[in-house]
Protein backbone atom coordinates (compact mmCIF):
# COMPACT_ATOMS: atom_id res chain seq x y z
CA UNK A 1 0.00 0.00 0.00
CA UNK A 2 1.40 3.39 -0.97
CA UNK A 3 2.24 5.78 1.84
CA UNK A 4 2.42 9.50 1.11
CA UNK A 5 4.95 11.11 3.52
CA UNK A 6 3.35 13.61 5.86
CA UNK A 7 -0.17 12.86 4.68
CA UNK A 8 -0.98 9.39 5.91
CA UNK A 9 -4.02 8.30 7.84
CA UNK A 10 -3.71 5.93 10.78
CA UNK A 11 -6.67 3.69 11.53
CA UNK A 12 -6.86 2.21 15.02
CA UNK A 13 -9.58 -0.41 14.96
CA UNK A 14 -11.26 -1.10 18.29
CA UNK A 15 -11.38 -4.85 17.74
CA UNK A 16 -10.20 -7.78 19.79
CA UNK A 17 -7.29 -9.24 17.89
CA UNK A 18 -3.75 -10.49 18.27
CA UNK A 19 -1.24 -7.92 16.96
CA UNK A 20 1.50 -10.55 16.58
CA UNK A 21 1.42 -10.07 12.80
CA UNK A 22 3.45 -6.88 13.18
CA UNK A 23 7.09 -7.00 12.11
CA UNK A 24 9.77 -6.86 14.79
CA UNK A 25 11.18 -3.47 15.68
CA UNK A 26 13.38 -1.90 18.33
CA UNK A 27 11.61 -2.31 21.70
CA UNK A 28 12.74 1.02 23.16
CA UNK A 29 10.93 4.11 21.85
CA UNK A 30 12.53 7.49 21.35
CA UNK A 31 11.09 9.84 23.94
CA UNK A 32 11.70 13.19 22.30
CA UNK A 33 10.07 15.59 19.83
CA UNK A 34 6.59 14.96 21.21
CA UNK A 35 3.62 16.09 19.13
CA UNK A 36 1.93 17.99 21.94
CA UNK A 37 0.89 16.94 25.42
CA UNK A 38 -2.41 15.39 26.47
CA UNK A 39 -5.78 15.55 24.78
CA UNK A 40 -5.63 19.34 24.40
CA UNK A 41 -2.07 19.20 22.97
CA UNK A 42 -0.97 21.94 25.39
CA UNK A 43 -1.77 23.27 28.88
CA UNK A 44 -4.44 25.59 27.50
CA UNK A 45 -6.29 22.81 25.66
CA UNK A 46 -6.10 24.68 22.37
CA UNK A 47 -6.00 21.38 20.41
CA UNK A 48 -3.68 23.12 17.98
CA UNK A 49 -1.09 20.90 16.29
CA UNK A 50 1.93 23.01 15.37
CA UNK A 51 3.59 20.21 13.40
CA UNK A 52 0.66 19.44 11.11
CA UNK A 53 1.32 18.56 7.47
CA UNK A 54 -2.33 18.24 6.50
CA UNK A 55 -3.87 21.09 4.53
CA UNK A 56 -6.84 21.66 2.26
CA UNK A 57 -4.69 21.18 -0.84
CA UNK A 58 -3.29 17.75 0.15
CA UNK A 59 -6.08 16.11 2.15
CA UNK A 60 -7.13 14.19 -0.96
CA UNK A 61 -3.79 12.33 -0.84
CA UNK A 62 -4.56 10.57 2.43
CA UNK A 63 -4.10 6.82 2.32
CA UNK A 64 -4.15 4.15 5.01
CA UNK A 65 -0.71 3.58 6.54
CA UNK A 66 -1.66 0.65 8.77
CA UNK A 67 -4.56 -0.78 10.76
CA UNK A 68 -4.07 -2.02 14.31
CA UNK A 69 -6.59 -3.86 16.49
CA UNK A 70 -7.00 -2.71 20.09
CA UNK A 71 -7.76 -5.27 22.78
CA UNK A 72 -10.95 -5.00 24.75
CA UNK A 73 -14.00 -4.32 22.63
CA UNK A 74 -15.19 -1.88 20.01
CA UNK A 75 -15.36 1.34 22.03
CA UNK A 76 -11.89 2.79 22.64
CA UNK A 77 -11.78 6.03 24.62
CA UNK A 78 -8.07 6.77 24.90
CA UNK A 79 -6.41 9.75 23.28
CA UNK A 80 -2.83 8.99 22.25
CA UNK A 81 0.62 10.49 22.74
CA UNK A 82 3.13 10.63 19.89
CA UNK A 83 6.92 10.92 20.10
CA UNK A 84 9.39 11.20 17.22
CA UNK A 85 9.05 7.50 16.38
CA UNK A 86 6.32 6.02 18.57
CA UNK A 87 2.57 6.23 19.07
CA UNK A 88 1.33 5.39 22.57
CA UNK A 89 -2.32 4.39 22.91
CA UNK A 90 -4.47 2.50 25.42
CA UNK A 91 -7.38 0.09 25.05
CA UNK A 92 -10.63 -0.55 26.94
CA UNK A 93 -9.13 -3.92 27.82
CA UNK A 94 -6.45 -2.31 29.98
CA UNK A 95 -3.53 -2.55 27.55
CA UNK A 96 -1.12 0.26 26.69
CA UNK A 97 0.68 -0.11 23.36
CA UNK A 98 3.83 1.57 22.10
CA UNK A 99 3.66 1.33 18.30
CA UNK A 100 6.13 2.34 15.63
CA UNK A 101 4.39 5.40 14.21
CA UNK A 102 5.27 4.51 10.62
CA UNK A 103 4.49 0.77 10.52
CA UNK A 104 2.38 -0.12 13.56
CA UNK A 105 5.05 -2.52 14.80
CA UNK A 106 4.67 -3.19 18.54
CA UNK A 107 7.66 -1.89 20.49
CA UNK A 108 6.09 -2.93 23.78
CA UNK A 109 2.67 -3.61 25.24
CA UNK A 110 1.57 -3.98 28.85
CA UNK A 111 -1.71 -5.13 30.31
CA UNK A 112 -2.78 -3.43 33.51
CA UNK A 113 -5.51 -4.50 35.91
CA UNK A 114 -8.34 -2.35 34.64
CA UNK A 115 -9.97 -1.01 31.51
CA UNK A 116 -8.52 2.37 30.56
CA UNK A 117 -11.17 5.04 30.23
CA UNK A 118 -9.22 8.30 29.80
CA UNK A 119 -6.67 9.45 27.31
CA UNK A 120 -2.94 9.27 27.96
CA UNK A 121 -0.96 12.29 29.08
CA UNK A 122 2.81 12.40 29.18
CA UNK A 123 5.33 14.45 31.13
CA UNK A 124 8.91 14.56 32.34
CA UNK A 125 9.76 13.87 35.99
CA UNK A 126 12.96 14.52 37.93
CA UNK A 127 15.97 12.81 36.40
CA UNK A 128 14.52 13.02 32.90
CA UNK A 129 12.13 10.09 33.34
CA UNK A 130 9.32 10.28 30.78
CA UNK A 131 6.03 9.12 32.29
CA UNK A 132 2.56 8.39 30.98
CA UNK A 133 -0.55 8.78 33.14
CA UNK A 134 -4.10 7.52 32.62
CA UNK A 135 -7.31 6.90 34.56
CA UNK A 136 -9.66 3.94 34.79
CA UNK A 137 -13.38 3.39 35.08
CA UNK A 138 -12.94 2.28 38.68
CA UNK A 139 -11.38 5.59 39.72
CA UNK A 140 -7.67 4.77 39.76
CA UNK A 141 -4.84 6.79 38.24
CA UNK A 142 -1.83 4.89 36.94
CA UNK A 143 1.65 6.23 36.24
CA UNK A 144 3.94 4.22 33.98
CA UNK A 145 7.41 4.61 32.51
CA UNK A 146 7.03 5.45 28.81
CA UNK A 147 10.28 3.64 28.03
CA UNK A 148 8.97 0.12 28.69
CA UNK A 149 5.64 0.47 30.49
CA UNK A 150 6.82 -0.31 34.03
CA UNK A 151 4.38 0.79 36.73
CA UNK A 152 5.57 3.77 38.77
CA UNK A 153 2.53 4.05 41.03
CA UNK A 154 -1.23 3.56 41.24
CA UNK A 155 -3.55 5.88 43.22
CA UNK A 156 -7.21 5.61 44.22
CA UNK A 157 -8.92 8.98 43.61
CA UNK A 158 -12.44 8.07 44.74
CA UNK A 159 -14.26 9.83 47.58
CA UNK A 160 -17.55 8.11 46.65
CA UNK A 161 -18.15 4.49 45.54
CA UNK A 162 -19.60 5.70 42.23
CA UNK A 163 -16.68 7.91 41.24
CA UNK A 164 -14.96 7.09 37.97
CA UNK A 165 -12.44 8.75 35.65
CA UNK A 166 -13.45 9.77 32.14
CA UNK A 167 -11.65 13.09 31.61
CA UNK A 168 -7.98 12.97 30.70
CA UNK A 169 -5.65 14.30 33.43
CA UNK A 170 -3.44 17.33 32.82
CA UNK A 171 0.22 17.61 33.84
CA UNK A 172 2.17 20.74 34.74
CA UNK A 173 5.21 21.46 36.93
CA UNK A 174 5.27 18.09 38.64
CA UNK A 175 1.55 18.05 39.43
CA UNK A 176 -1.12 15.85 37.86
CA UNK A 177 -4.61 17.40 37.80
CA UNK A 178 -7.29 14.70 37.65
CA UNK A 179 -10.99 15.38 36.90
CA UNK A 180 -13.39 13.18 38.87
CA UNK A 181 -16.62 11.93 37.31
CA UNK A 182 -19.38 9.58 38.48
CA UNK A 183 -21.53 6.71 37.28
CA UNK A 184 -24.19 7.24 39.97
CA UNK A 185 -26.70 8.65 37.51
CA UNK A 186 -27.08 5.18 36.06
CA UNK A 187 -28.11 3.86 39.47
CA UNK A 188 -31.02 6.29 39.60
CA UNK A 189 -33.09 4.04 37.33
CA UNK A 190 -33.50 1.76 40.36
CA UNK A 191 -36.57 3.08 42.23
CA UNK A 192 -35.18 1.71 45.49
CA UNK A 193 -31.92 3.65 45.22
CA UNK A 194 -31.67 6.88 47.18
CA UNK A 195 -30.20 9.21 44.59
CA UNK A 196 -27.86 10.98 44.62
CA UNK A 197 -24.85 11.72 46.81
CA UNK A 198 -21.83 11.89 44.51
CA UNK A 199 -20.29 15.06 43.12
CA UNK A 200 -17.60 15.91 40.64
CA UNK A 201 -14.27 17.28 41.77
CA UNK A 202 -10.70 18.01 40.77
CA UNK A 203 -7.83 16.36 42.61
CA UNK A 204 -4.16 17.30 42.40
CA UNK A 205 -1.62 14.50 42.75
CA UNK A 206 2.14 14.60 43.09
CA UNK A 207 3.00 13.30 39.63
CA UNK A 208 6.08 11.44 40.87
CA UNK A 209 4.46 9.60 43.79
CA UNK A 210 0.67 9.71 43.34
CA UNK A 211 0.22 11.35 46.75
CA UNK A 212 -2.89 13.56 46.96
CA UNK A 213 -2.10 17.26 47.40
CA UNK A 214 -5.59 18.77 47.42
CA UNK A 215 -9.13 18.16 46.22
CA UNK A 216 -11.74 20.74 45.20
CA UNK A 217 -15.38 19.65 44.77
CA UNK A 218 -17.45 21.29 42.05
CA UNK A 219 -20.36 21.55 44.51
CA UNK A 220 -19.28 22.98 47.87
CA UNK A 221 -22.33 21.89 49.84
CA UNK A 222 -22.44 18.29 51.03
CA UNK A 223 -25.54 16.31 49.96
CA UNK A 224 -28.41 16.10 52.43
CA UNK A 225 -31.75 14.30 52.48
CA UNK A 226 -34.12 16.53 50.52
CA UNK A 227 -37.27 14.41 50.63
CA UNK A 228 -38.74 11.03 49.84
CA UNK A 229 -40.47 9.74 46.72
CA UNK A 230 -43.56 7.57 46.45
CA UNK A 231 -41.74 4.43 47.61
CA UNK A 232 -40.52 6.32 50.69
CA UNK A 233 -36.94 6.12 49.48
CA UNK A 234 -34.81 9.08 50.51
CA UNK A 235 -33.86 11.64 47.90
CA UNK A 236 -30.55 13.45 48.23
CA UNK A 237 -29.01 16.65 46.97
CA UNK A 238 -27.24 18.67 45.82
CA UNK A 239 -25.27 16.23 43.74
CA UNK A 240 -23.92 15.68 40.26
CA UNK A 241 -21.61 17.98 38.29
CA UNK A 242 -19.24 15.20 37.17
CA UNK A 243 -16.13 16.48 35.40
CA UNK A 244 -15.75 14.74 32.04
CA UNK A 245 -13.17 16.95 30.36
CA UNK A 246 -9.44 17.61 30.73
CA UNK A 247 -8.51 20.54 33.00
CA UNK A 248 -7.04 23.67 31.47
CA UNK A 249 -3.97 25.00 33.29
CA UNK A 250 -3.57 28.74 33.92
CA UNK A 251 -0.06 29.11 35.33
CA UNK A 252 -0.75 32.67 36.47
Per-residue pLDDT in tens (0 to 9) along the chain, 252 residues: 333 344 334 454 433 344 444 468 999 999 999 998 888 888 888 888 887 788 889 999 999 999 998 887 667 788 899 999 999 999 989 999 999 999 999 999 999 988 899 999 999 999 999 999 999 999 999 999 999 999 999 999 999 999 999 999 999 999 999 999 999 988 888 888 888 999 999 999 999 999 999 999 999 999 899 889 877 888 888 998 999 999 999 877
pLDDT of residue 186: 86
| Domains of the chain, first to last | 8-237 (2.140.10.10)
Q: Is omega for the bond preceding 238 within 30 degrees of 0, making it cis?
A: yes
pLDDT for 6 equals 41
Provide DSSP, 145-181. Answer: ETTT--EEEEEE--SSTTEE--SPPEEETTEEEEEEE
CB atoms within 10 A of CB 222: 11
Q: Is 127 left (phi over 0), alpha (psi -120 to 50) or beta?
A: left
Q: How many residues does the chain have?
A: 252
Q: How far apart are the C-alpha atoms of 121 and 177, rounded to whole Å? A: 11
Q: Say if CB 37 and CB 130 are below 8 A apart.
A: no
Contacts of 173 by beta carbon, 8 Å cutoff, 6+ apart: 251
Backbone angles phi, psi at 217, to 5 degrees: -75, 150
CA distance 134 to 196: 27
Amino acid sequence: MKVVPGTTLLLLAGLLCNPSWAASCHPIPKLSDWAGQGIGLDLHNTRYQRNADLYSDNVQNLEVAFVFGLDGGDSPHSWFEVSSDTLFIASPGGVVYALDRETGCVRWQRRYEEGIRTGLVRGELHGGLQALWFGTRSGYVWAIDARQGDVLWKADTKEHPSNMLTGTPSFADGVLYVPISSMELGLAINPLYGCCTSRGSLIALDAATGKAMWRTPVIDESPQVSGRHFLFVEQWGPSGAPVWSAPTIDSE
